[in-house]
């Protein structure tokens, strides 16, 4: 692993156009559970049981219970050394984009600016009737929150399975992936599209790609660098020479 890190540091220190994609693994050391793993995500539900428009239509109170649990949990945690290291990287690189699949807001809290939250943000709600989006940082939104403007049922303003990403957002994410010299993939299982294809789009355009994860993923075999270990330990090592 040591040799991999030193070679990767040389790549990063020279790179002018860097794109990073993060997933739930970067927030794991903050205490936010990842989506996939033994025992399911919440109670005995799998993420695909509670993060779909069909599940919300069937039982909005259950889905709000899940999101209230997440709101409460995430309100009690903070960013970690991995998030901070990406803020350092952003300061060092001319053309930098951080694409995250996470809705926890921890990258923004840490200070990342050039950020694309492609799956939305947990703290935003959207009216299912009039479509208005508002920010609400309540730890508990109640059983079935409604819109103050029109009385419609509110839903979390996040992307669920089967829903399309914001076209402008995904356009920017694809552009950042196709135009970078180096792409770093951190803490994602690499199985949810379209995020999972971004590293391949970068590589197809000639970028070097690297993965940081505590375990092998379906993408590991395609990487130029694979650094195995916790993001909160490896990312700070990558940026330690910047200051
Ligand atoms: P997953 O839960 O699928 O994967 C988390 C990844 O993080 C796994 O590959 C773990 O091995 C890795 N990991 C865990 N702890 C780590 C650590 N300390 N350091 C580095 N890696 C670590 O989460 P995502 O890939 O983010 O989307 O999931 C993608 C999307 O699926 C989510 O954004 C969400 C979910 O359904 C939607 O809700 C639409």
pLDDT digits (tens, 9 = 90+) for 25-60: 999 999 999 988 655 578 878 888 899 999 999 999
Q: What is the pTM of this model?
A: 0.95
User: Which residues are CB-contacts of 37 (< 8 A; sequence separation ≥ 6)?
Assistant: none
- Nearest ligand 1 atom to the CA of 189 is 9
CATH number of this structure's domain 33-76+120-158, picked from the four choices 3.30.1600.10, 2.40.30.30, 3.30.70.260, 3.30.530.20: 3.30.1600.10
CATH for 2-32+78-119+164-239 (3.40.50.20, 3.40.1640.10, 1.10.1520.10, 3.40.50.1220): 3.40.50.1220
Q: Give catalytic residues, as residue numbers.
A: 119
Residue 191 has pLDDT above 50, yes or no: yes
Q: Which two tokens stand for residue 194?
A: 């379209």
By residue count, the chain amounts to 243
Mean per-residue pLDDT, 177-199: 96
C-alpha to C-alpha distance for 166 and 223, rounded to whole angstroms: 28
In the block, tokens 């998030």 appear at 83
Measure 40 CA to ligand 1 centroid, in angstroms.
Answer: 13
Ligand 1 proximity of 80 Cβ (cutoff 6 Å): no
Helix-helix angle 231-239:81-92, to 10 degrees = 30
CB-based contact 33:40 (threshold 8 Å): no
Ligand 1: centre distance to CA 34 (Å): 5
27 lines ligand 1 (CB under 6 A): no
**Pairing, β 208-213 against β 182-186:** parallel
Domain(s) labelled CATH 3.30.1600.10 in the chain stretch across: 33-76+120-158
Which neighbouring-strand residues pair with 158?
Answer: 120
């Amino acid at each position: 692993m040591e040799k991999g890190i030193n070679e990767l540091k040389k790549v990063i220190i020279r790179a002018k156009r860097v794109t990073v994609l993060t997933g739930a693994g970067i927030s794991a050391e903050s205490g936010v559970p990842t989506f996939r793993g033994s025992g399911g995500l919440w109670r005995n539900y799998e993420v695909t049981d509670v993060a779909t428009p069909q599940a919300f239509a069937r039982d909005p109170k259950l889905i709000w219970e899940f999101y209230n649990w997440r709101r409460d949990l995430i309100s009690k945690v903070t960013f970690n050394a991995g998030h901070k290291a990406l803020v350092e990287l952003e300061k060092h690189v001319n053309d930098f984009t951080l694409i995250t699949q996470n809705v926890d807001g921890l990258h923004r809290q840490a200070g990342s600016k050039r950020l694309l939250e492609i799956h939305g943000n947990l703290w935003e709600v959207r009216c299912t009737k009039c479509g208005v989006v508002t920010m609400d940082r309540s730890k508990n939104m109640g059983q079935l929150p409604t819109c103050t403007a029109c009385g419609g049922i509110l839903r979390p303003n996040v992307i669920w399975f089967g829903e399309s990403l914001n076209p402008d957002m995904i356009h920017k994410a694809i552009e950042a992936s196709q135009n970078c010299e180096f792409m770093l993939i951190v803490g994602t299982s690499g199985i949810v599209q379209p995020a999972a294809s971004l590293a391949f789009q970068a590589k197809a355009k000639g970028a070097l790609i690297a993965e940081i994860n505590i375990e092998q993923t379906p993408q590991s075999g395609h990487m130029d660098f694979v650094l195995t270990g916790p993001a909160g330990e490896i990312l700070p090592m990558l940026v330690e020479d910047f200051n």
